[in-house]
Amino acid sequence: MDTKSIAKAFALKGEILEIKPLGEGLINDTYKVNTDGPENYVLQRINNAIFQDVELLQHNIECATAHIRKKLEAAGESDIDRKVLRFVPVKESGKTYLQDGNNFWRVSVFIENAHTYNTVNPEYSYCCGKAFGNFQAQLADIPDTLGETIPDFHNMELRARQLREAVEQDKAGRLKDPEVQAILKDLKPFEEEMCKAERLHREGKLPKRICHCDTKVNNMMFDDEGNVLCIIDLDTLMPSFVFSDFGDFLRTAANTVAEDSPEVDKVDFRMDIFEAFAKGYLESARSFLTPIEIENLPYAACLFPYMQAVRFFADYINGDTYYKIQYPEHNMVRTRNQVALFHKALEKVPQMKAYIESLM
């Protein structure tokens, strides 16, 4: 079926005028559906090779958005459809996704007059910190059981193992490249330290909480005044360590350049962004965080560039089967960038620790 027939299977208001590609996600395919009715929509093809349990994925999203909606209503908020995503049911089944052969599709209401950014200043970063802390706080008492939509998604031990397997298999014959060897050598000494979260969890010292797990800057929508309206891209919403949301935001927002910029010498980890984000995050999340979680926020800021470097690098070695690429070396460029960011963040850990202590 074409996108128009797919969209028409959902209970849309109004007639479809136009469907066009939207956004820059590396996993799903996203379209904007314009209608002559009161709302426009976002149509997405869920990448089922990556999200294999679409039923669970939509269960997580439906429970979480319903829970947040209830809280917004109880707080007497207005304009709620712009503050939490609303998914449109399929006319025939009433479900929030449609299976067409091997493809899975869903539709949500498009949030009008909202903006996403790929970079933020400290003021916006502070708002993002508050918003993600608040998001975790809102979901802290969700009564439903949510599952892991990608099992062990942010498990560093698994990611390290996947890199080792990629190296053993050398499917794309890329291991003969001396640069590939050099990067492997560079990453290895930090592996054990970076797997700290899993160890703490096994020792019963670190809980899993419902997290967003893809807190890239551009997964946040702002209104015209710069207030955070809504958090989007909820596929990876699942139980994880709070480090996921703290670390992945800074991985994208504190980097002085984009995650795939080839200008590696321009990569730096911005402390002004870190400080603003940490301040906002702790203001809204402090009430439920444990001392171990707070103490390890600087570790989280290093973990995510490290994990992302490992993931991009493993995909490069495997012959680019996971992330969408725009040119053959794309995953290698991304890897170099994230390795550089990791080292910059690591250098700043003492400063990060001092700042967090000053907030407590």
Contact residues toward ligand GN1 (CB under 6 A) are 25-27, 50, 214, 216, 233, 236, 259, 308
Q: At closest approach, how far in Å is the CB of 127 from Mg ion?
A: 18
Nearer to ligand GN1, 233 or 275 (CB): 233
Taking CB under 5 A as the rule, does residue 22 contact Mg ion? no
**What x/- string results for residues 122 through 161 when contact with Mg ion is judged by CB under 5 A?**
----------------------------------------
Give the closest residue to 68 by CA, choosing from 157, 135, 148: 135
Q: At closest approach, how far in Å is the CB of 53 from ligand GN1?
A: 13
Nearer to ligand GN1, 245 or 259 (CB): 259
Nearer to Mg ion, 296 or 338 (CB): 338
* 95 neighbors 75 (Cβ within 8 angstroms): no
Nearer to Mg ion, 25 or 319 (CB): 25
Q: At closest approach, how far in Å is the CB of 103 from Mg ion?
A: 19
Q: At closest approach, how far in Å is the CB of 216 from ligand GN1?
A: 6
Type of residue found at 18: E
Q: At closest approach, how far in Å is the CB of 310 from ligand GN1?
A: 11
Q: At closest approach, how far in Å is the CB of 50 from ligand GN1?
A: 6
Q: At closest approach, how far in Å is the CB of 235 from Mg ion?
A: 9
Nearer to ligand GN1, 148 or 214 (CB): 214
Nearer to ligand GN1, 209 or 311 (CB): 311
Taking CB under 5 A as the rule, does residue 258 contact Mg ion? no
Nearer to ligand GN1, 26 or 271 (CB): 26
Taking CB under 5 A as the rule, does residue 233 contact Mg ion? yes
* 50 neighbors 322 (Cβ within 8 angstroms): yes
Q: At closest approach, how far in Å is the CB of 64 from Mg ion?
A: 16
Taking CB under 5 A as the rule, does residue 259 contact Mg ion? no
Nearer to ligand GN1, 28 or 35 (CB): 28
Taking CB under 5 A as the rule, does residue 25 contact Mg ion? yes
Q: What is the SS3 string spanning the chain?
A: CCHHHHHHCECCCCCEEEEEECCCCCCCEEEEEEECCCCCEEEEEECCCCCCCHHHHHHHHHHHHHHHHHHHHHCCCCCHHHCCCCECCECCCCCCCEEECCEEEEEEECCCCCECCCCCCHHHHHHHHHHHHHHHHHHCCCCCCCCCCCCCCCCHHHHHHHHHHHHHHCCCCCCCCHHHHHHHHHHHHHHHHHCHHHHHHHCCCCCCEEECCCCCHHHEEECCCCCEEEECCCCCCEEECCHHHHHHHHHHHCECCCCCCCCHHHCCECHHHHHHHHHHHHHHHCCCCCHHHHHCHHHHHHHHHHHHHHHHHHHHHCCCCCCCCCCCCHHHHHHHHHHHHHHHHHHCHHHHHHHHHHHC
Structure tokens, 194: 């970076």
**What x/- string results for residues 213 through 232 when contact with Mg ion is judged by CB under 5 A?**
------x-------------
Provide the binding-site residues for Mg ion, judged by CB under 5 A.
25, 219, 233
